[in-house]
Structure 1
Amino acid sequence: MLNLNSEQKIFLAKGVTDLRKSITSLSILVAQEFELDPHDRNVYVFCNRRRNRIKILQYDHNGFILYLKALDQGKFIWPKENESDLLEVTNKELGWLLHGLSLVEKRSETGEKKYYSY
């Protein structure tokens, strides 16, 4: 079961990730490509090219946990790669994504809702 608290940040790796990668390869990706510490207890979410599988990498006390969600049918609505490689989302937005819904960015300082294009 995915165990998240309000202090943890959740990062989506935009675009495509080769999900043949294991815990070690994904943690190296976090460290080298995103220049973040994979041991920092944040959550990192990756999606495959076909957008039917997601892997979630999390460090918990003394080791890594790797979750896999594979859809029987349909696709995840996944953000395309553009300016930055990572997208920070809330726990609620991760839940939307895992249930097949689109992500809506939090309201900006002007109060406008921004929508991601897929």
Structure 2
Amino acid sequence: MIAFPASVRVWIAVGRTDMRRGMDGLALQVQQALGRDPHAGDLYVFRGTRGDLVKILWHDGIGMSLYAKRLESGRFCWPTPTDGAVEISAAQLAYMLDGIDWRNPRYTFRPTAAG
């Protein structure tokens, strides 16, 4: 996993995105459809039609980076609001990339007694 700065903002571009787009096409989508600056240092997450592939666009101040992740089975949990973007935390992004429902993560272990 690439280490992002702790203060980074993560934006999910809701809806479906053409996964044939590269970093220039996705940066243009951020600028036109979302109305945000793709060079501001924020992370932008896009999902394809099938739901098993995401691409993350990030400008670190030096250059643009494009990351992709495909799940072997299952689909990424994705919001369905009508606005163009949803902001999540970096921890929620980590859950998403692990295939966990980032909206309501559940602990698998809870201690029954202290000590």
TM-score > 0.5, shorter chain as reference: yes
Matched with 2:101 is 102
TM superposition shift of 1:84:
1.0
* 1:11-59 deviations in Å (ceiling 9; x for gaps): 0111111111100000000011111110000000000010010000000
> What residue in structure 1 maps to residue 22 of structure 2?
22
Flag structure 1 segments of 5+ consecutive residues without an equivalent: 106-118
2:60 corresponds to 1:60: yes
State the 1:90 CA deviation.
Answer: 0.4
Question: Paired residue for 1:78?
Answer: 78
Q: Which runs of 5+ in 2 are unaligned?
A: 105-115
Larger Rg, first or second structure (1 or 2): 2
Alignment partners' CA distance in 1, 2:53 and 2:83: 22
AA at the equivalent of 2:92: E
TM-score w.r.t. length of structure 1: 0.82
Number of equivalenced pairs: 104
SS of 1:2's partner is coil
- C-alpha RMSD of the superposition: 1.4
Partner amino acid for 1:104? R
CA distance in 2, matches of 1:57, 1:3: 14
Segments of 4+ in structure 1 off by > 3 A?
Answer: none
* TM-score, normalised by the number of residues in structure 2: 0.84
**Is contact 2:58-2:66 (8 Å) kept?**
yes
Cα distance between partner residues in 2 of 1:42 and 1:2: 14
Q: Between the two proteins, what is the percent identity of the paired residues?
A: 32
